[in-house]
Amino acid sequence: MMENIEILGQNFSLHPFGAMFWNEKKMLLISDVHLGKISHFRKYGSAVPQNAIAENFERLSRVVDYFQPEKICFLGDLFHSSLNLEWDLFENWMQDISAEVLLVVGNHDIISELKYEALGIRIYSELILENFLLTHHPEIRKNYFNLCGHLHPGFKLNGTGRQQVKLSCFYKSGEQLILPAFGEFTGNYWISPNVGDQVFVITKKEVILVY
């Protein structure tokens, strides 16, 4: 189950996988997939399950199939590191994508732009659409609403006793909405919202407004 929100007269659908669909633009927004991170960690001995790589691509395909976007915009850190076997998997994945693909470059996106351009992916340092500023790092700029990633926001839900559940989330505050990390094994930055902020936690099946 998704949550639908309105920002500056535009309608957005928040998906449990951590993606956000901009209805009027028919644009799918995804941040911090960190492809290549699992292979990078496994190379140096970390006990990360191999099937997690396939799960990232399966989730990408499922969310694209669901929304059928005309454009897919990755808000940075599409890849975690230099080229490894996951780049080949990404090239194969791109062969089935008919939507225009855009990448707003993040701090981990160190792979040559020529590699992306060869796949038809357009590269940007930032994007301005209507009154929205699309970036990787959170940025407050006068007269714009910022859609971004980078922080991998998460929220701790406290229950009775000492029970606590930690979940990734969409975090909306003031003139900004930070998307959760889409990729597996990316970690979280645990937020402490202020009055007036909104926190939409994500589970495997739904998005829930909790603050």
- The predicted-structure confidence for 140-185, as pLDDT tens digits, reads as follows 999 999 999 999 999 999 877 678 899 999 999 999 999 999 987 6
Amino acid identity, position 129: L
pLDDT at 44: 43
* Strand-pair category, 132-134 with 127-129: antiparallel
Question: What is the Cα–Cα distance from 169 to 210, expressed in whole angstroms?
Answer: 10
SS3 158: strand
- For residue 159, how many other CB atoms are within 10 A of its CB? 8
Which value, to the nearest 10 degrees, does the dihedral of the CA atoms of residues 106, 101, 144, 79 take?
Answer: -10
pTM, two decimals, is 0.92
DSSP string, 171-207: EEETTEEEPPP-SSS---EE--PPTT-EEEEE-SS-E
- Mean pLDDT, residues 31-59 taken together: 69
Query: Which DSSP symbol is given to 120?
Result: T
Q: What is the CATH number of domain 3-209?
A: 3.60.21
Question: What is the Cα–Cα distance from 46 to 81, expressed in whole angstroms?
Answer: 15
Q: Go through 74-100 and write b for each residue having 16 or more CB atoms within 10 A of its CB, e for each that does not.
A: bbbbbbbbeebebbebbeebeeebebe
Question: What is the Cα–Cα distance from 179 to 99, expressed in whole angstroms?
Answer: 21
Q: What is the mean pLDDT of the chain?
A: 90
